Amino acid sequence: MSNFSREVITLQLGHYSNFVGTHWWNLQDASLSYDPETPPSEIQSDVLFREGQTTGGHVTHTPRLIAMDLKGSLRTLRQEGSLYDAGNDTSAATWEGSLMMHKESPAEKNSFLEDLDKLDKGEVLAEDSVYSSPLPQRSGAVSVETVNSQLARVQKGYRLEGSVKVWSDFLRIHLHPRTVSVIHQYNHDGEAHRLEAFGQGDALLQGSVLEQLEDKLHFFVEECDYLQGFQVFCDLADGFAGLGSKVTEMLQDSYGGRGILTWGMAPVSHPDTTPMKELYHVLNCALGTVNMAAHSSFFCPLTLRGGLGRRPSAPVAFPHLNYDPSLWYHSSSVLALALDALTLPYRLKNNSSPMWQVADSLAVSGRKVVAAYGAVPFPMMHGGTLPDALSACADKLPWKPLSACTELGDGRCYGQWATLKGFEGQRLTSSLPPGTQPATPLHGLHSGEDVLASYIQSFYPTSPLGLQLVSTPSALTPPFPQIFSQSLSAQGFLQSQTPPPGSRGPSVSSAPVMTSLQSGPALGSWLSELHRSAIALDIRRVAPSFLSQGPEMGDYKEALEELRLLGLCYRDEMMHSSSEEDDD
């Protein structure tokens, strides 16, 4: 790993955020290379990972991560992890009298976790134990040569859709003992003591919860040489929205000047939901958005829902994905794959853009809410060129909304950051022989950056644009779900011939992805709709218990007014007024 990096600390607050985060960390771990003969990666891995050592002397690389969740959410995962486990030491036991032991049966592990345990013990896997994409070494567990030599010859497709109940059911990497924090005041399962309202989460950050968070933060911050900031994944539709608001406020107060990029996560649907819980979800989203935006460098909602109101449209559909929107295991994998590209600008070895630069280019004049869009995967023909792929999308941008915010299509955008990741082995330009007439203006350009910039500017001609092109693909190793269309090759590119019906196509082991972060008038409409959904509810009549633990009615009304004003910031006349004031 590099001797210099701008470190980032990640916080995951809530169960769905931990679903997205688990997929995202699995993707990061798959990109780590322990082989000195492997070409160097374009991505600076120690921005996110810290190096350590086990008691046995093994070098480890664990996420610089704090993950918070509720009691009963871990199942088979031990809160302190097992990477630095010294074994069961019974030397301190001195009682010689009779004992009565009550033993609870441990949760059953799925086939994927069982195989990981075998690898950690140095066992040789059976021929059908894992599928064709190599499963990378669990950091510090066993030698990478041993793991790779086994996995090169064994094949199996994990189908975990029926066995994933919590995020640790598909967690592939080891976590540092200081990573996981369990909130014991509320339960993950059952009807009693659920963290459902904004005020409940807002009131949590005190006492032992605050002490644990501060202790973990200090540990990770103090070992950083150049901390560029924090990325916060926070559940938006439940009580974690209140906790996230307090956490981002604390980060802003304690680490001013550092970047705080907050991603508000919302699943397409919640299990065991009720009409009353749906009302809570709307109110949590409204209060969480305005509060976390106020305390962050920028705030970006991430969801595949058709909207955050009570009557959303259909979930987002992607042309080359066959995912089940109701499965958190599926929807979180799509968001994680997009997030792998969205977070690239501040994680690159060369030509990186630090967090503050990305945020400053988008969050101008108080417009701290941004929207994400993604082409997952980006439709590029195997053996084709970038101009060919973009020309096939000449009438409509290839990406879909990832923030429940539909583009207006009128060419107005205050700022945009676009990323194309995973085109390894494909050509970015046409490389036409001298004298050949290009088929389109894109085919006549001489760099991938010029091709992509020209294409996007044909839709947004006056928008400031930041670009990042990274050839390294996201490695989709187990247990990433196989949700891809049969029209894709193993590398995630479109095939000229689709396998016949009934035949099984190749397992997709990587995929090209294009994403965009935008600030524009479309967000004004989105924020106004969220505001209207919240104020339409007579909270004292239909949901009086929502405010039982805060906020006060006056603070609640003030927050909704701030949400209304935030939406007005995205109107063109407000932008022109702000520009004129800056000129004066």
Q: How many residues does the chain have?
A: 584
pLDDT of residue 198: 95
Q: What is the mean pLDDT of residues 107-123?
A: 81
Question: Which tens digits make up the pLDDT trace of 225-260?
Answer: 999 999 999 999 999 999 999 999 999 999 988 999
pLDDT of residue 272: 84
Question: Which one, of 246, 234, 159, lies nearest residue 204 by Cα?
Answer: 246
Give the global pTM. 0.90
Task: For tokens 């794959």, name the residue.
Answer: 337
Burial state string for 361-400 with b = 16 or more CB within 10 A and e = fewer than 16: bbbbbebbbbbbbbbbbbbbeeebbbbbbbbeeeeebbbb
Helices (H), 194-259: 198-202, 207-222, 240-254
Q: Which of 16-25, 80-89, 242-251, 515-524 has the lowest mean pLDDT?
A: 80-89
Average pLDDT taken over every residue of the chain: 86
pLDDT of residue 293: 98
**DSSP state letter for 428:** S
Amino acid at 262: T
pLDDT of residue 156: 52
Question: Which tens digits make up the pLDDT trace of 335-381?
Answer: 999 999 999 999 999 989 999 999 999 998 889 999 999 999 999 99
